[in-house]
Amino acid sequence: MSAEDAVLGLTDVQALEERYLMRTYKRAPVDFVRGEGAYLWDAGGKRYLDFLTGISVCSLGHCHPAVVEAVREQAGRLMHVSNLFYTEPMARLAQRLSESSLGGRVFFANSGTEANECAIKIARKHAHGRGIAEPEIVSFEGDFHGRSYGALSATPNLARNPAFGPMLPGFRSVPRGDGAALREAVGERTAAVLIEPIQGEAGVFPIPDDALLAARQACDEVGALLILDEIQTGMGRTGSLWAFQQTPVRPDVLTSAKALGGGMPVGACVTGPAAADVLEPGDHGSTFAGGPIGTAAALAVFEAIDDPTLLRRVRELGRDLSDGLAALDGVREVRGRGLMVGVGLEEGVEAAAVGADLLERGLVVNVPAPDTLRLLPPLTVELPQVREAVGLIGDSLRSLRS
């Protein structure tokens, strides 16, 4: 539906939402109807430069022709048969995921949360196999692994909400990036360390190398699994296909989603050889996961992203973006890697106000914390668009600080 074809205006859509949708989201007052590349258009025809890409889902930009064509072609041929049968796109995607990362096996899911649920089940079963009756999973404060009960229990900030208690037993956390505390927390009961190599939802906080090394060593010492949640960092976001490839550790399990499907809901739990055969027939499953359309889309995404030239551009443009932001008045610090960028604002600058102002100016960003902007532009973004975004953020900061 083009902007011109939009039947309802924003007010009408908001009225429908108010009446019929659960109030779980606080949405920005925009009704997007079309996307192409780095741009979005609202129902009124206004164009926006998108530096959020659906929270790093549309990493190739909106409606990438290869992804659209893969979906269109597959949807016209075979949409769904369930996991009771073989389908080629799923098998081929599993091969690409495995061979590009840890070399083991893949379980497909419909989301990152579900991919983490699979990883948690692998960790617990693996631990039971080592004779651990009450296995434990250790995470960092600030980690975000999802909102279903297993993943939620591994998400310290959300797990503390008493409204949804009790959480699953067997989860604990240590301060973010504290390698010594993590080593202390890992013991004989530890099934796994489950962490994000760069915390995304918390506001883009890279975990230091020494903490990652501590996690790897602690896991090796007790026989636990190191699980990296690469749902946001993976698929080229940081300038390598997987973020762990720019760290001194190699996990036993990684989880992927978001950009993997290029806009289709696809998640995956990928193991190395050590954990490849933990799950057996009947241990886990899904009706929709690994379906032909999603996996065909993901194969098209892989084809485009697993490209050294594109990944090098991500690193280069990430440096341009970070350098430009760091030079702005009102910016306290810039964090991240590649095109996953967190902007810490100086005290007194409300990130929510900046985010709203930028939306007015036609730039879409995210506000994950009261003092932080999060930028996740498409990996196909051009340098002039990067400069335009930096300019708009600079304008907004000047305007709000004056």
Partner 1 sequence: MRRKEESPGLHPLERTTAERLGQIVEAAERAAEAVIDDAEAEARRYLDDARARADRLVAERVQEAGELTDSLIARAEEIRRQAEALVDALEEARSRLAGEAEGEEPASPPRTSRSHLSAVTPVARPRLVADDSEREEPLAASAAPNGTPAAARLLATQMAISGSSRQEIELRLRNGFEIEDTAAILDAILGPED
Shorter beta-carbon distance to partner 1: residue 34 or 96: 96
Is there a catalytic annotation at residue 302?
no
Q: Report CA dihedral (70, 74, 76, 81) to the nearest 10 degrees.
A: -160
Give 133: exposed, middle or buried? Use CB within 10 Å, 0-12, 13-18, 19+: exposed
**Pick from 70, 152, 198, 260: which binds partner 1 (CB under 8 A)?**
198
Binding residue count for partner 1, defined by CB under 8 A: 40
Q: What are phi and psi of 74, to 5 degrees?
A: -70, -40
Footprint of partner 1 on 210-249 (CB under 8 A): 210-211, 213-214, 217, 220-221, 239-242, 244-249
331 SS3 class: strand
Among the listed residues 373, 342, 336, 381, the one whose alpha carbon sits nearest the alpha carbon of residue 59 = 381
Q: How far is the CB of 330 from partner 1 (least distance, A)?
A: 18
Contact pattern for partner 1 over residues 263 through 302, marking x by CB under 8 A: ----------------------------------------
The one catalytic residue in 229, 252, 357, 371 is 229
Residue 326 is a binding residue for partner 1 (CB under 8 A): yes
Of 309 and 402, the one with the shorter C-beta distance to partner 1 is 309
> Does 366 help bind partner 1 (rule: CB under 8 A)?
no
Catalytic residue among 32, 42, 171, 258: 258
| Interaction of residue 308 with partner 1, rule CB under 8 A | yes
Q: Is 96 in the site for partner 1 (CB under 8 A)?
A: no
Written as one string, the DSSP assignment of 367-398 is: EEETTEEEE---TT--HHHHHHHHHHHHHHHH
Residue closest to 18 by CA, chosen among 2, 29, 7:
29
**Considering the rule CB under 8 A, would residue 253 count as an interface residue with partner 1?**
no
Paired tokens of 373: 């902007």
Q: What is the CA radius of gyration of the chain?
A: 21
Residues 6+ apart with CB under 8 A from 175: 140, 141, 181
Is residue 317 at the binding interface for partner 1, with CB under 8 A as the rule? no
Q: Is 144 a catalytic residue?
A: yes
- Considering beta carbons, is residue 296 or 341 the nearer one to partner 1? 341
Q: Establish whether 229 is a catalytic residue.
A: yes
- Considering the rule CB under 8 A, would residue 185 count as an interface residue with partner 1? no
Q: How far separated are the first and last CA of the chain, in Å rounded? A: 40
Cα–Cα distances (Å) from 128 to 124, 192, 196, 223, in that order, read 6, 12, 24, 12
Q: What residue type is 57 in one-letter code?
A: V
Give me 344's structure tokens.
């810490």
Q: Interface with partner 1 includes 335 (CB under 8 A)?
A: yes
Catalytic residue among 51, 107, 140, 144: 144
Q: Which stretch binds partner 1 (CB under 8 A): 267-275, 314-322, 360-368, 382-390?
A: 314-322
Q: What is the helix (H) or strand (E) element at residue 18, kind and residue range?
A: helix 10-20
CB of 250 to partner 1, least distance (A): 7
In whole angstroms, the minimum distance from the beta carbon of 58 to partner 1 comes to 22
Q: Which of 228, 262, 286, 235 is nearest to 108 (CA)?
A: 286
Nearer to partner 1 by C-beta: 70 or 334?
Answer: 334
Residues that bind partner 1 (CB under 8 A): 177-180, 198, 204-206, 208-211, 213-214, 217, 220-221, 239-242, 244-250, 308, 311-312, 315, 319, 322, 326, 334-337, 342
Residues marked as catalytic: 144, 229, 258
